[in-house]
Amino acid sequence: MKEGNNVTAPPASIPKPPPLPTPRPLQRARDAAYKFIGYPSRPSSPHVGVRREALTQGVTGKARYASLTATQNATAIHKTGLEINTIAINERGTHALLGGKEIFKTVKIEDGICAEEVNLRTAIRSTPNAASGKPRQTYSIDIADVAWAKGDCGDYVAAATSSGKIILYDLGHAGFPAVQLHEHFRQVHTVTFNPHRSTLLLSGSQDGTVRLWDLRDVRHEANSLQSKRKFSGQSDGVRDVKWSPTDGVDFAFGTDSGWVQRWDMRNLKAAKVKVPAHTLSCNIIDWHPDGKHIASASSDQFVRVWDFSHNSKQRALWEIKAPHPVMNARWRPSCESSMPHDNGARQCTQLVTAYDREHPVIHVWDLRRPAMPFREMAPYSSAPTDLLWHSQDLLWTVGREGAFLQSDIQHAPKVIDKRNLSSFAISPEGDVKFVTQKRKQRRSPKHHHPSIQTSNNGDSLSVSPDTILLSRSWADDSLDHSFLRVAPAKRQSRSESAAAMDINNGGPSMAVLPLGVIMNNRVSFAPQQSMIIGRLPYHVDPDVFRDLARGYTHSVKLTSSIDDGLLRVIEDAFDSNTQLIASAGLHNRAQSVKIVAFITLNHLKVRAKAQLEKKVETHEHPRHATGQTALSALAVRLLAEHSESPEPWPPSVQPVSTLTKQLAAMDSTSNVPTPLARPVSDANLSAAQNGAQLPDPDNDEQLTLPPSLTAHVQQVLPPEISFFNSQLTANNLKSLTGTDRVDMVRRWSIQPKVPLSLDPVDDKPKLQTHDSNESFSFMVGSADSKDLSSSLGSARHASDPNLLVVPATTVRAGNRSANGNTNEDVAPPAEIVEIRIASRGREHADEPSSSPRASGADESLYSLPDEPAQDLEEGKPFILVELLTELVKDALKAGDAQTATMLVTMIAPLLPRTHPLSHQEVEDTVLTYTDTYALMGFLPEEIAGVFDKHLQHTVMAGLQPLQIESIMSCYHEQLMSFRMFTEAAYLRKLAYPAYPAVYEDYMKDNTIHLKCGRCGKSVQNGMARTTCEGCSEKQASCPVCRLNESPYRGGMLMSSCMLCGHGGHAECLRQWFEDAKGEECPTGCGCLCSG
Amino acid sequence: MRTLFSENILSPSPTPAPQPNPFELLFPSSLSNASSADSTQSSPRQNEWLTQHLQNQQRAESETSNQANHAANGQRAPYARRKGNPKLLFMGLRRSGKSSIQKVVFQKLSPADTLFLEHTTRIETATMQSFITFESAELPHHLSATAPDFDHHAVFSNTGAAIWVLDVQDEYLTSITEMIHTAVFLAENYPRVNFEVFIHKTDGLSEEYKYETFREVRQRVQDELSDLGHGDRSVSYFQTSIFDHSIFEAMSKVVQKLLPQLPAMEALLNKLCSTCRIQKAYLFDSVSKIYVATDASPTFLKDYEVCSDYVDVIVDIKQIYGWHSQEGDGKAVSESSNQDDGDIGESMVTYDRSGDTYIYAREINDYLSLICVMGKGSSTDKRVLIDYNVGILHDALLQVFKV
């Protein structure tokens, strides 16, 4: 009977097809009899007729298990409960041989029913005598591998044991080992029979040898069979041996060290081909049915396919990167190619892999799409110990759980079905890429095989859609359109397939196409996917965004009173922004900004006029707005409520309890001298609180003690007045900004706050100066110079989010000296030192207090002073706040956080405090912010300070701070994604400390690196070495003294100019600028550093 | 298997049997002290004679001195001693890492400190006395092994394995050429010397690059050797680095090939594994962290790392509480079961929450311990079975070594 007939016949109507085992009714009874009698009456001879039919199927390419209908699931299971190590199949595919430590039997599989046939183990055990009549030795065999002979030796099975013995059994005489082959002296890993001459047996062992045995000798010399050949020369164990499927004398094996070798059994000297295939042990090899290629799988998680037909230096032709160490791999039996011009030749591109013990999954891969498994299943809870293909669709596996399983691979889920077939990604620049693929709902048969068309499983029968999906094709089932597709997709005409069938029927042209032909000559195997790439709609043009981000003016320097200078500054800022927008071609936006600017300026002018009038009227007694809620008071009240509540509260905010405790804490944790906590006399303190005393810019090293928490509530209001009273001059403003900057630097990274407290016992002010030795140790050998100074200079426009903004130093030093400050401690160096210390978690410098509240006088930085009582906008067509809100809303609609941020940061400080938010809203907002700040570790007085300085104005002006915060953080994110770190850093600076969402993530883990002035790279090893790794340039020495240490005290502390980037010893520079009255940079670069 | 022995040596003369109390003086002090003291103690003399060899002086003289040395050392015949101890010879180009390997493996130098090692100018030897006495020597590059004026016999006749160290981060083509010369020389003159190649300093290389160079070196050497007619000669290759466990694993495999008892031990371990459902069993030389045998299942570096770290812990604790078990059984999770001898050292540690998989350690003797990675299904209620089987293995091993 020819195979074509089997195939074409409708399964339902035809009787049992030939490849099925013929029922042997007496077999079972006979087996049972063996068990009891222990010796069969006659050896069961192989059924000649059946084998002949089996042979017509071809040796290598077994056809599909023909009784399988298109939708039948042939899954079958046989549970033994004993750990099974290995499995073998007989030639006809009807029986499986299972081997393990406590199991050794054959199982018959028929129509999804598994039944035990010969239990060799029981037979052996029940046989008390050996064949020679001597008492049988009792030993347990631990079977590592089994093999079932083919052809006329079909009753012989071989079992390899861990002790190094190979035991041959005749299934007919199940009780007796036919022969024991004992030449390997270490574990035998594998045995295999030659498929062409079934008497030849190969065994591979841990001892590094492969031995060839000939079973024909068994008959003559029982029990003492010598190996015919020994192939040695391996220094390590042989893990797997396989005969070539096409060449009867060739075989290949893989070794523990990753070699794969092909040998000719007639040549004992050396291997034909020897390839170092893997770095780790090669666990299994398998010949491709074409006889040329070998797949090797290894613990190094690769499956590689090699061409073993020639001996030349080579790389793997194809490889599959498996997810786990591969312990087992087998080519799937070949199937008909669905390509019309192959004329039904067979092809094989798929293999199955199983992994190490912890990974129970089994994958079927297709080499044509090696990046992803084709199908996947996990039949056991641990990995299968052995597997083999029964036929094209049926996979036999055995596992440690003791189950033999026949699984139908067609029913294993496809991996691609679990995957998303579409995916998209957006680049930070606004490009979007989108890839998608059509998922096939129904799998129509690709190969229009007659059997499918004539099948009864047509539409007339009610079949669930599930089974329709599974309509079996005799051809290449990997070519389903979602996984792989032949492009150009060619419709197969009926005639073509009929022609193919003709050839198929006409002759036994079952040749397997060489793998290379399939893989190399058809580039067209690829999933068909569509891709879209383009600009995201509503996304800003990256160039425009960059340009605007770079150019925008976000804030102007505010003064306390509105004068012409301020107005001009504001006008200029608006003008430049407008021009920038216009130059970007956004005339619409430019126009609206222009209008806002105009209205703002008008408003400011009106306000200035009103202010002037008012000043004349009530110069001496500024009236405090009675209706105005002080947010800080509210916040403090909320805080107090919180601390009373049993809820745990961050320790940093806990009310100041005992001074001694804090002092103790300070001593115990600080390893850095803390020179700044200078006590202030009580008189001083009360004076400051009464607001009678103006902040003294020259005296600002003095620490204003933050009021204690309990006293705070009553004392909130008076300082409020003093803010409005304080007359700031341009002169002290500058130093105050400096103060504030220091403050910011210090706060830039969150650190445990040291409670600043006054020691009441110690009356004497702690005039402890900064211990320079301590701090200098940070700078030792570091900062000689140009390199350092340029690094600081660039740090000013921090181009990296991690980079700290270091304030100008030399300039300030000059200022201070001009102010007649004769303090010993030079501020600039201390600032640098302080940063270093801050990174250690504690910090203090000889600058004034870090409490925002203490330096309340610089509030004008953040908002324009205003008299809330008087609404100057009455009767105006536009109310500025509303205008701003609408504009922001409009900008946000277009997703334009950039413009919104610009508008908010520009205008918000200028708004009048005449349209406060509703009371409820204010309370909610304050609550939110209080919580956030408290969680961030702000002290209560600092929180109050933040409210006073930043949020008070915003809320009073009628803007929702939460909205501003979200706008700014959105813009910040955009800036970061565009890698505009300088602008982002600037934005963070604007947001600090009121809007934590903007800066929060970037405040942590800041590190400072020096930047090499020559190559521009950061000096990674910090200040430990004085050379740059990038260009190995040495740091320049101090331009004044050229010495390692400054001749004028001060040690090695360095300072640098932010303008020219040159620097030197702080003391040397001081000498240069102060005493020697140097105007220019001491290096002679022409920079007016002190100017 | 390729050893220096005829197969019958297996039973009659056991090997490196540690004498009753050879290390009592050494081990109570620090371990590193012990081995370094040992090496300093032995190296002058050995260097002396090796250098003498190099200068082509009479060999007999040194032989006698050597013999005297052994006679003093123990009851074994000098010949047996030379054969019995795995002797390794490191070769390779300048700065390829020979001394580092030697120092790290045998003298427990911290890998980071190997940076400061000086060039080696003469044959340096080191020994490590443990369960097995390892002897290693280093052949500096300028003393070419193939040079005619070189006393090959002195160096190679008692060498078990010649290890060529190849610096993969350097230009390795010259090294390969030299290696092939040496390998051919050895194959022709001393065919019983195992030739091993350490492809060294693989740390810090990408996987891809590692694989490529590994493959390249192996293929190249293989091709050259077959062209020279020694294609059947087996050369083993190992990727090593002193900064991880790979060097120890490679050394283990090298040493194992020199042990005649290996098949016996392996068979025992195989049996144990299959009976007790052990995933992987190692017999560790406790001091050197080299495993002298393992079962035949596929090895994973991961398993070895875990086990070797565990051995480290045990050894460290032993250092604290005394090397001899009578002085206190200070194990991490110690469950000392009082069997016949009463002083069985045994401990286990689990590393996942279910407790299903754990590591089981059992001392065979002071310097040999069995470390098993237990698989699923060998939970603690099977302990009786495990203990019994391990007890049997214990006895069998002692029989094998005839201690």
Tens of pLDDT, residues A805-834: 333 333 333 333 333 333 333 333 333 333
pLDDT at A296: 92
pLDDT tens, position by position, A954-1008: 887 888 888 888 888 888 888 888 888 888 888 888 888 788 888 877 766 566 6
The CATH code for residues B262-400 is 3.30.450.190
**Confidence (pLDDT) at A526:** 64
With contacts defined as CB-CB under 8 Å, which chain A residues touch B246? none
Q: How far apart, in whole angstroms, are the C-alpha atoms of residue A31 and residue A174?
A: 10
What is the rounded distance in angstroms from the CA atom of residue B151 to the CA atom of residue B159? 13
Q: How far is B236 from chain A (nearest CA, A)?
A: 7
Mutation pick from A82, A186, A256, A301 vs chain B, by most beta carbons of B within 10 Å, is A186
- Residue A736's pLDDT is 41
Strand order in the sheet with B133-138: B124-129, B133-138, B87-92, B161-167, B194-200, B235-239
Q: What is the number of alpha carbons within 13 Å of residue B129 lying toward its C-beta?
A: 21
B223, B232, B298: residue with CB nearest A281: B298
Tell me how far apart the alpha carbons of residues A286 and B332 are, in angstroms, rounded to a whole number.
Answer: 46
* Alpha-carbon torsion angle B57, B60, B65, B69, nearest 10: 130
Q: Checking phi first, is residue A1037 left (phi over 0); if not, alpha (psi -120 to 50) or beta?
A: beta
Q: Which residues of B touch A189 (CB under 8 A)?
A: 296
Q: Does A276 sit within 8 Å of B219, measured CB to CB?
A: yes
- Between A238 and A1029, the higher pLDDT residue: A238
**B-chain residue closest to A206, CA distance:** B296
A208·B226 Cβ contact <8 A: no
Pair B220, B180: CB distance under 8 Å: no
A282 - beta bridge partners?
A: A298
- pLDDT band of A218, cuts 50, 70, 90: low
- Structure-model confidence comparison of residues A649 and B84, the more confident one: B84
A18 DSSP 8-state letter: T
Q: What percent of chain A has pLDDT over 90?
A: 1
Residues of B in contact with A208 (CB under 8 A): 1, 234
Domain(s) labelled CATH 3.40.50.300 in chain B stretch across 79-256
Question: Please, are residues A1052 and A773 in contact by the beta-carbon 8 Å criterion?
Answer: no
Q: E strands of B40-170, at which residues? A: 87-92, 124-129, 133-138, 161-167
Closest alpha carbon to A708 in A754, A657, A671: A657
Q: Does B234 touch chain A (CB under 8 A)?
A: yes
What integer pLDDT is reported at residue B77 of this predicted model?
33
Q: How many CB pairs under 8 A join A and B?
A: 85
- Phi/psi region, residue A676 (left: phi>0; alpha: psi -120 to 50; beta: rest), is alpha
pLDDT of A479 > 80? The answer is no
Question: How confident is the model over A349-377, as a mean pLDDT?
Answer: 86
How high is the pLDDT of residue B355?
60
- Whether the CB-CB separation of A268 and A209 falls below 8 Å is answered with no
Q: C-alpha angle A97/A100/A102, rounded to 5°?
A: 115
pLDDT digits 0-9 by tens, B356-392: 678 888 888 878 888 888 877 666 677 888 888 888 8
Report d(CA B92, CA B196) in Å as an integer. 11
Chain B positions touching A257 (Cβ under 8 A) are: 236-237
Q: In which residue ranges of chain B is CATH 3.30.450.190 found?
A: 262-400
Chain B: closest CA distance from residue A318 (Å): 15
Chain A residues near residue B253 by CB distance under 8 angstroms = 236
Going by pLDDT thresholds of 50, 70 and 90, the confidence category of residue A223 is low
Q: Please say whether the dihedral angle defined by the alpha carbons of residues B70, B76, B81 and B86, taken in this order, is positive or negative.
A: negative
The mean pLDDT value for B109-121 works out to 80
Q: Residue A610 in contact with residue A870, Cβ under 8 Å?
A: yes
* pLDDT at A393 > cutoff 60: yes
Residue range A305-318: average pLDDT?
81
- A869-887 burial by CB neighbour count: b if 16+ within 10 A, else e? ebebbeeeebbbbebbbeb
pLDDT band at A850 (very low <50, low <70, confident <90, very high): very low
Beta pairing class for A95-100 and A84-89: antiparallel
Query: pLDDT value at position A651?
Result: 41
Q: How confident is the model at residue A340 (pLDDT cuts 50, 70, 90)?
A: low
Of A413-417, A579-583, A624-628, B306-310, minimum mean pLDDT range:
A624-628
A296 shares contact with chain B (CB less than 8 Å): no
Q: Closest partner residue to A274 among B215, B222, B299, by Cβ?
A: B222
Q: Which residue of B has its CA nearest to A284?
A: B298
Check A279 against B274: CB less than 8 A apart: no
pLDDT at A938 exceeding the cut of 50: yes
Q: Where are the beta strands (DSSP E) in B95-172?
A: 124-129, 133-138, 161-167
Please report the sign of the dihedral spanned by the C-alpha atoms of residue B332, residue B338, residue B343, residue B346: negative
Distances, alpha carbon B160 to alpha carbons A727, B4, B46, B82, B257, in Å: 93, 7, 17, 10, 9
Q: What is the mean pLDDT of chain A?
A: 66
* Straight-line distance from the first to the last Cα atom of chain B, in angstroms, rounded to the nearest whole number: 24
Strands B133-138 and B87-92: parallel
How big is chain B, counted in residues?
Answer: 403
| Residue B264: CB atoms within 10 Å | 20
Q: Mean pLDDT over residues A239-251, rounded?
A: 87
Task: Give pLDDT, residue A492.
Answer: 40
ipTM above 0.95, yes or no: no
Q: Does residue A596 contact residue A879 with C-beta atoms inside 8 Å?
A: no
Which range, A382-391, A475-484, A556-565, B146-155, has the best average confidence (pLDDT)? A382-391
CA A41 to chain centre: 69
Residue A729's pLDDT band (cuts 50, 70, 90): very low
Cα(A351)–Cα(A364) distance, rounded to whole angstroms? Answer: 6
B240-271: pLDDT as tens digits:
888 888 888 888 888 888 888 888 888 888 88
Domain B79-256 has CATH 3.40.50.920: no
